[in-house]
Amino acid sequence: MSNSKLSGKLKNVPTDASLVCSSTNGLLNRVEKLSATRKVLADNLGEENPPLKRERHLSRLDVKVFVVNRRGKPLMPTTPCKTRVLLKTRQAKVIRRIPFTIQLTYATAEFKQSVILGIDAGYSIVGFSAVTDTKELLAGELKLRTDVSKKLSERRMYRCNRRGRLWYRKPRFNNRKGSKSKGWFAPSITHKIKSHIRLVELIKSLIPITKVIVEVASFDTQKMQQPDIGGIEYQQGTLFGYTVRNYLLKKWCHRCAYCHKSNIPLEIDHIIPKSRGGSNRIDNLTIACHSCNLKKGKKLLSECSPKLSQQITLIQRQASRSFKAATFMTIVRRIMVNQLNCQYTYGDRTKYQRTRIKLPKSHVNDAFVIAGGGNSHQRSQIFTITQIRRNNRSIQKNRKGFKRSVRRKRYKYQPNDLVLYENGLYLVKGVFSYGKWVRLVNTAGTTINSSLNKIQLIKYGKGLCFHANSLPTQRKVFS
C-alpha cells in the first residue's frame, strides 16, 4: 500500500509514518503529542473524540442479588456482574425473581457478616431494613391486609342465614368457652401478628440475619383522648355506671342527633360506618331515629344532605380520631418480642436517632435507624410488599333442582400468578372449564383465553409479593 492511499484513509497521520498498530490509550497519546489528552483518532472509533472513560450513571444504584447455598441456607448478597458469570457457567440457578435470588449448585465456604434487621411494627404498614456495618442490604414496607374484619363479618352473616334454615338444629349458644381462653386474640389481630412473624422469617431466608430489633410502644388511649383526666375519673372511665344505650341517650338528651326529634323510638348509629373503617368506640356512636338512620345508611356525614346533619361539625369532631393502631401496638408489644426471641427498642429513641441524622419520617427510615443505620451507610433499593389471599373459598350459587356445592379442588393456576404465554408475560385472571382453561391479562388490559398446555408458570402470585420501587432520595453515602 502506498503512502498516498494511507493518507486518504487516516486523518492526522504523517505520510511517512510506519505501518504499525495505533493505540487508543490516552497516556500513550499524551507522550507523542499526536492528539489532545484523553483523545483518540476519529477514524479508529467512528465517533468524534469521545471521552476515554464514560461516566457510569448507574454507579450509585446499589442493587443486590441474594444468594443461598446448595442446602438452601442464606449467604451474603453478591453483585449482578458475578451473578451473570455464575448463571452462565451453570454454577447457580434462579429461585426467585423479585427480589432476585439465586441458589449455588456447588459447595462453598459460608463466610457471613453481622447483619441486623430492624422492624418498625405497625397496624397497617410495617417497615423493615437489614443493615451491616457499612451498607443496607434490604429495605421496604409491608402493607398489611385491612379486609379481615369485613370478611369475618360476611362469613358470620352467611353462617347465620344457613343455620337459620336448619329447623332441627339444637341451640349452641353456651358452647363457645374454648375460644375465649387465656391468650386468645381476635382473628384480625392474630393475622397481623402472624404477618409480622412471617415477614421476619422471609427475610431470614434471604439474608443471614444475626440479630432482630423490633420497635414496641405502649399507648394510653384515655390520656390521648383527654390529656387532663386524672384521679377517680381516670379509674372509672367513660361508661362507669351506664350501659352504652343509656349513656348515648343521656349524652344526646333523648333526641335524634340529626333532626332533633324527641319522644320517638331511637336507634344506635355509627357516625363512621363500619364498612368505611369505623369502630364500636363510644365516640363513634350516636342516637338517631329510624328515618334518619335509613337516610344516612353507609354514607359519611360529609356525603349526606345538610338537612340531615345539623350538628355535623360537632359529630365529626368527636369521631375524627381512631385508636385502632394505638390499641394494636399496646396489645402485641410483648407478644412479637417473645415469639421472635429478639431485642426491642422504643419510639422515642428511634425519633431521636432519625432527627439526629436528618432523615424524613417514614417506616423505612425508622426501620433503618432501629437496625443501627447512620450517615456512613449506603442505602439500598426499596421494596413494597403486598399481601394477597392464598385461598378464596366460595360457595357455588344454588341452581334450580340442584343442591349447593363447594369447590374443594385447588386448581394449579390461581389469580395473580405470572405465566409465560407465546414468549410474553401474562397474569392469570381466573380459571374456568373445571380448571382446563385459564383467562390471562397483560399490562395493556387485554384478556386472552388459553389452555393449560400453552402456558408455563413463572412465579406464584399469592402470599407476600415483592414490588421493586425507586431508590431513596439519598442514594450515595450520606454526607
The tally of CA atoms less than 13 A away on the side-chain side of residue 283 is: 15
Range from 31-40, 366-375, 406-415 carrying the lowest mean pLDDT? 31-40
State residue 446's pLDDT score.
86
* 119 confidence band (pLDDT: 50, 70, 90): very high
The highest-confidence range among 60-69, 269-278, 440-449, by mean pLDDT, is 440-449
State residue 175's pLDDT score.
58
pLDDT greater than 70 at residue 352 = yes
State residue 27's pLDDT score.
45
User: Comparing C-alpha atoms, which of 363, 401, 399 is closest to residue 382?
Assistant: 363
pLDDT greater than 60 at residue 142 = yes
State residue 171's pLDDT score.
64
**Residue range 209-219: average pLDDT?**
89
State residue 126's pLDDT score.
93
* 131 confidence band (pLDDT: 50, 70, 90): very high
- CA 175/CA 168 separation, integer angstroms: 17
User: Comparing C-alpha atoms, which of 364, 361, 392, 360 is closest to residue 379?
Assistant: 364
Say if CB 197 and CB 336 are below 8 A apart: yes
State residue 396's pLDDT score.
57
CA distances from 475 to 216, 287, 360, 417 (A): 29, 54, 14, 32
Its pTM stands at 0.72
**Residue range 147-174: average pLDDT?**
76
State residue 236's pLDDT score.
72
**Alpha helix locations (H) across 184-286?**
187-204, 221-225, 232-236, 244-251
* 285 confidence band (pLDDT: 50, 70, 90): confident
- Give the type of residue at 395: I
CA terminus-to-terminus distance, the chain: 60
* 218 confidence band (pLDDT: 50, 70, 90): confident
Q: Which three cell numbers stand for residue 133?
A: 456495618
